[in-house]
Structure 1
Amino acid sequence: MMKHFEEFEQEAVRIALTSGLSRERVAKDLRIGKSTLGEWLAQYRPSDLVSAPQADLARENERLRLENRMLKEERDILK
């Protein structure tokens, strides 16, 4: 349950920072208080919003690079 709440907070902050909408509008759309959104914005740094998804992408990219390298080696052996 706590993880979902943290994800909701991060998504709310991301929307507030990147959507171009006012904080009031974002808070209203998400049905949270403007002061709550302000507190969340004060807590998070830009790197916090990017790090989780970027870390997942980096792991996936590394896995795919490894798989690609292994497939190329197997192909070269078969040649």
Structure 2
Amino acid sequence: MNVRKEREVPPRYSQQFKDEAVRMVLDGPRPITHVAAELSIHETSLGKWVSQYRASLNPGPQPGTGEPKTDRERQLERENQKLREENAFLKKAALDSTGQSNSAGRGRFTWRDWVGRGCRTR
């Protein structure tokens, strides 16, 4: 005998209830978890309602949604890539034959250089 357990149907909330719950989160200093516990709803549901409300206020394209790039964005990306390549080339060119950096003041003289030149240590 094949007995299937009936799944519990999640409760349906009215739009008015959702709007009031979102207002409680946005108007007060309480976090979503506290408001959800107070209203006996799951915090994920309330979080989705808040996200949907915020998205409805700002209907512009969201980052990472795959919106086509403008010509200016493509131009800036090409320029950025070119500058990265030039920067990498210049970093390589700044190394001398021993693989040390040419930067001024870094490792200019060693202890042996000072002693070899007859500089007094005391």
Q: Equivalent residue for 1:8?
A: 17
Q: Equivalent residue for 2:41?
A: 32
Q: Equivalent residue for 1:42?
A: 51
d(CA) in 1 for partners of 2:56, 2:26: 13
Higher relative contact order (CA 8 A, sep 6+): 1
| Identical residues among aligned pairs (%) | 37
Aligned positions, number: 46
Structure with the greater alpha carbon radius of gyration: 2
d(CA) in 2 for partners of 1:41, 1:20: 14
Offset at 1:19? 1.4
| Deviant stretches of 4+, over 2 Å | 45-48
d(CA) in 1 for partners of 2:22, 2:50: 6
TM-score scaled by length of structure 1? 0.51
Higher helix share: 1
d(CA) in 1 for partners of 2:19, 2:47: 12
Q: Which runs of 5+ in 1 are unaligned?
A: 49-79
Instruction: Give the residue type in structure 1 aligned to 2:44.
Output: S
